[in-house]
A and B are shown apart, each in its own frame.
Chain A
Amino acid sequence: MSNRRIRWTFVTLGIALFIGAALELSLGPVTIPVPQLIPDAWSYFQGVHDTNNVVIGAIRLPRLSVAALVGAGLATTGTALQAVFRNPMADPSIIGVSSGASLGAVLTIQLGLSQLNEWSTPAAAFLSGLIVVFVIYRIATVQGKTSIYALLLSGVAFTALCSSIVTLILSLAPLETMQQMLFWLMGGLNGSTWHEVLMLLVFVTVAVGIYLTQAHALDVLSLGEEQAQGVGVPLQQTKQIVLVTSAFVVGACVSSTGVIGFVGLVVPHLLRIWIGPSNRRLIVASAIGGAVLMLFADLIARMILLPAELNVGIITSLLGAPFFLFLLRRQESSVYRG
C-alpha cells in the first residue's frame, strides 16, 4: 500500500467524520443551521437552555457521541478479533460476546432489575458477556493451548444458545416488557445520555489503547501461530488480552445501544483493502471508520421515516449485509488468501 493511498484514506475518513457529525447535529425534526451548532452547544453548557440549545446539548450531542464511540468500539474490536482468529469473518458476535451480553441485559429487564438502578443493565451485559467468553475460552483450551477453530465453533454454538434463551424469555414476557426488550435488542441510540458517553469514552479509549499495544503481536499472529511463536509472541497472553478487552468493550456497547451488527465486520474488512494489513494503522482507521459508519447509519435511521425513527441496528445490517456480500463477490481483497 502506498503511503499516499494510506494518507488519503485517513484524510477522507476525517472529512467524513466531520461531515457526519455536522449533519447528525444539524438535521432532525428541528433543523439547526450548521454555523449555529457550536454557539448553541456552547450556550447549553453555559446554562442557557432554549429549545435549540437543549436539542444540541442534551439530545443530539450525547447521541452523536454514543454513536461514534460505539462504532469505534465495535470496529476496533472486529479488527482485533479478525487478527486473533485469523479469519476475516470474525466480529464481536462470533465469539458469543454480543449474544451473551444481550442475554444478561434481557434478563435484567425481565426480572425488573433494570428499574432499580441505571447501571444494572450495563453491569449484567458486561458480566454475562465475560462469562460467555470465559466459558468458550475454557472449552477451547486444552493443555494450555487454545484452538482458534474450537473457539470459533463454540462461539457460534453459544451465540445460538444465548439467542434461543433470549427468544424464550421474549415469548414468555408480558407485552410491555417484550416491547422494551425488542426495542433494546434491535439496537437504538434513542435517549442516549451523557452518563453513557462517559462510560463509553472510558471503555472505548482504554480498549483502543490496549488493542494498539497488541498491534505488532496481532500482525505476527496473522501469519500463523508457529510463525508468531518463532519471534516471541506470547500466544496465550495475546489471545486472553484481546478476548477480555473485547468482552468489556462490547458489553459496554451492547448495554448502551443493544446489538448493532456488521460494524465490526464490514469496517475492518473494507479498510484492510485500502490501507493494508498492518494492525496499528488498521485499528486507528477502524476507530474513525466505525464512528463514521454509525453516524451516517443513525442519520438515515432518524431521517428516512421522519418524524418516526428506526433503530440504527436495522440500518447497519441493511447497509452492511449487501455491501459485505458485494465485497465478497468482487473478491477484491486477497488479504487472507495465501
Chain B
Amino acid sequence: MEDISYGGVLENIRSEWMRGQMVGLVGPNGTGKSTLLRLLAGVNRPTLGRIYILGQLNSKISPKDRAKQVAYLPQQMPENASFTVEQYVEMGRFPYRTLFGGLDKEGREAVHRAMAVLNLLPFRNARLDQISGGERQRAGVARCLAQGSPIILLDEPIANLDVHYQLDILLYLQGLAQEGHLIVIAIHHLELAARYCDRLLLLQSGRVYAEGPPQEVLSECALEEVFQVKAKTYADPFGGHLRVSYSP
C-alpha cells in the first residue's frame, strides 16, 4: 500500500505485507479497519495512493483475476440466506467457472476440503437461515478457503463464534499463513490477535498508530492512547504470548 487515503476515513496508509504472514488489523470501532479491507479487496478504490497485489496494481486487475488472488469475506451476513451451506461454499469457486460451467473435480475437492476443515459437512444441505450465526460465520470462512486464493481478507471472522471455533479458525488461518498464504483479519480480540498474528496494524482515527510484532504494537501506552483504557500487558506464564489485563 502506497500512501492510500479514502474519503476522510483513512489517511496515508503505507505498508507492505508478504505471503507467509498473518496480519491483524486492530483498533477501536470506526477507525477504518473494514474500509481498509474493502480497499484491499477492490470493493472500493482509494481516493489517493496505490495498492499492489502480488506486484500488480489492484485497480488494473479484473474482478475474476483478483478473486483468484484475493478472497474476501465481509462482515455482513448474506442477504439471501436461502442457499444451502454447500451451495454457499461452492460460490467461492466462481472465478474458475466457465461460461455455462459447473464445478470441475478440483473445485469439488476444494469445496469438500473447506467444509471438512470447518466441520460443516453435517450441515452441508441445511439452508443458511436454518443454522446458527456461528455456523454461518464458519460457512463464510469455508467459502473463502474454497476460493483457493493466496491472499485471504477476513472482516471479523471470529465474531459470533464460541471460544472453541475462535481458536480453531485462528489456528487454521495461522497454518495457512505458514504454508505461504497472506492472511489479513480485522479483529477486536487483542489477546487472540497478539497470539495468532505475526504482525498487527493498529489504527487510530484512520491513521496508522503503530505497526509491527504484537508485543511492540500493543504497548500499555498504545492501549491507553488508542483505546482510552488503562491496561497492564504481560507474558502468559504457559505460552509466553501477550496477555492484557484491563484496570477498572
- Chain A residues with a Cβ under 8 A of chain B: 86, 212-213, 216-217, 219-220, 222-227, 229-235, 276-278, 334-338
A335 touches B94 (CB 8 A): no
A-B contact pairs, 23 of them (CB 8 A): A86-B80, A213-B99, A219-B91, A222-B79, A223-B79, A223-B88, A224-B78, A224-B80, A225-B43, A226-B74, A227-B76, A229-B41, A230-B71, A230-B73, A231-B71, A231-B91, A232-B63, A232-B68, A232-B95, A233-B94, A234-B62, A234-B64, A336-B79
Q: Are B100 and A217 in contact (CB under 8 A)?
A: no
Q: Is the CB of A335 within 8 A of B41?
A: no
Given A216-B97, A217-B94, A231-B92, residue A226 in contact with residue B43 (CB < 8 A): yes
In this complex, the member of B64, B66, B81, B92 whose beta carbon has the largest number of chain A beta carbons within 10 angstroms is: B81
Q: Is B129 close to A, CB under 8 A?
A: yes
Q: Which residues of A contact B58 (CB under 8 A)?
A: none
- Distance (whole angstroms) from the CB of B134 to the closest CB of chain A: 16
Q: With a CB–CB cut-off of 8 A, which chain A residues contact B129? A: 334, 337-338
- Are B80 and A230 neighbours in the complex by a CB distance under 8 Å? no
Q: With contacts A216-B97, A227-B79 known, what are 15 further pairs, Cβ within 8 A? A: A86-B79, A219-B83, A222-B79, A223-B79, A223-B91, A225-B43, A226-B74, A227-B74, A227-B76, A230-B74, A230-B144, A232-B63, A232-B65, A276-B83, A338-B78
Chain A residues within 8 Å of B81, by CB: 337-338
Compute how far the CA of A295 lies from the CA of B77 in the bound complex, rounded to whole angstroms.
41
Which residue of B has the minimal Cβ distance to A234? B63
Nearest-neighbour CB distance to chain B for A121, whole angstroms, equals 34
Is the interface on chain B under 10, 10 to 19, 20 to 34, or 35 or more residues? 35 or more
| CB within 8 Å of A: which B182-219 residues | none
Task: Say which residue of B79, B100, B144 sits within 8 Å of A213 (CB atoms).
Answer: B100
B82, chain A: closest CB distance, angstroms = 4
Determine the chain A residues whose CB is within 8 A of the CB of B41 once the complex forms.
Answer: 229-230
Contacts of A338 in B (CB 8 A): 77-79, 81, 129
Chain A residues with Cβ below 8 Å from B79 are 86, 222-224, 227, 336, 338
Contacts of A337 in B (CB 8 A): 81, 129
B143 at the interface (CB under 8 A from A): yes
B63 and A233 form a contact (CB under 8 A): yes
Return the chain B residue nearest A226 by Cβ: B74
B147 at the interface (CB under 8 A from A): yes
Cβ contact of A231, chosen from B76, B87, B147, cutoff 8 A: B147
A238 → chain B closest CB, angstroms: 10
Q: Is B6 an interface residue (CB 8 A)?
A: no
Known: A217-B94, A234-B63. A223 touches B78 (CB 8 A): yes
Task: Kindly list chain B residues whose C-beta atoms are within 8 Å of the C-beta of A222.
Answer: 79-80
By a CB distance below 8 angstroms, the chain B residues around A220 are: 91, 94
Asked whether any CB of chain A lies closer than 8 Å to the CB of B124, the reply is: no
A226: B residues at CB distance < 8 A: 38, 43, 72, 74, 76
Distance A225 CA – B73 CA, assembled complex (angstroms): 12
Minimum CB distance partner of A272 in chain B: B82
B32 on the interface (CB 8 Å rule)?
Answer: no
Closest partner residue, chain A, to B73 (CB atom)? A230
Asked if A335 and B63 make an inter-chain contact with CB atoms under 8 angstroms apart, the answer reads no
A231-B74 in contact (CB<8A): no
- CB-CB under 8 A from A227, the residues of chain B are 74, 76, 78-79
Residues of B within 8 A of A86 (CB): 79-80
The interface residues of chain A lying within 8 Å CB-to-CB of B91 are 216, 219-220, 223, 231
Q: Closest Cβ of chain A: how far from B159's Cβ, in Å?
A: 16
Report the bound CA distance from A62 to B62 in whole Å: 45
Residues of B within 8 A of A234 (CB): 62-64
| The residue from B62, B72, B77 contacting A230, defined by CB atoms under 8 A apart | B72
- Residue B150 is within 8 A (CB to CB) of chain A in the complex: no
Residues on A with C-beta less than 8 A from B68 are 232
For the complex, what is the distance from the CA of A335 to the CA of B95, rounded to whole Å? 25
